Amino acid sequence: MDPELKAYLDKGFSSINQLLDTKLGGINQRLDTELGGINQRLDTELGGINQRLDTELGAINQRLDTELGAINQRLDRLESDIRGAYILIEDGNGRVRLVAEGVTNVSEQVRRLDEKVSKDLDEVRTFNRLSYLDLDARVRRLEAV
């Protein structure tokens, strides 16, 4: 290549490079300024969003705590009611056992009384039979006379 052409091209490229550096420096500066502004706006917006989210989540957590507290109270009352029911059931079972024992005792007394009445009735029948036999014999003797 010709040294004059090379010098001319180098000078042209050098001036193009300077122009590009100047333009690109300005563009970079404008981009930095714009990006800085965008970053600031994003930080501001995200900060507001984060603050609103924190507020909303706090309110949700507070409502959940209130609801869970109410549910826990209801469960405690339910457990207490169930314990009371178990106590009543056990008491009822004990009373049923006592009634069953009483029925068994009464049944035994009725059986013994039935045996005694049967025995006494048998004795009365035997006595009546003997009395009637004796009376029958006496009436026959009187009729025979």
41-45 contact pairs (CB < 8 A, 24+): none
Asked whether the CA dihedral 45, 48, 50, 56 is positive or negative, the reply is negative
Domain spans, the chain: 1-108
Amino acid at site 101: E
Integer Cα distance of 9 and 15 in angstroms: 10
Low-confidence ranges of the chain (pLDDT < 50): none
pLDDT of res. 19: 75
Structure-block tokens of residue 26: 């300005």
* 56, 62, 67, 72 alpha-carbon torsion, rounded to 10°: 150
Token output for 135: 């009376």
CA–CA dist 132, 138 (Å, integer):
10
Rounded CA-CA distance 27/23 in Å is 6
pLDDT of residue 20: 75
72-106: pLDDT as tens digits: 999 999 999 999 999 999 999 999 999 999 999 99
CA atoms within 13 A on the CB side of 135: 6
Q: In angstroms, what is the C-alpha Rg of the chain?
A: 59
Which residue, 24, 47, 27, is CA-closest to 35?
A: 27
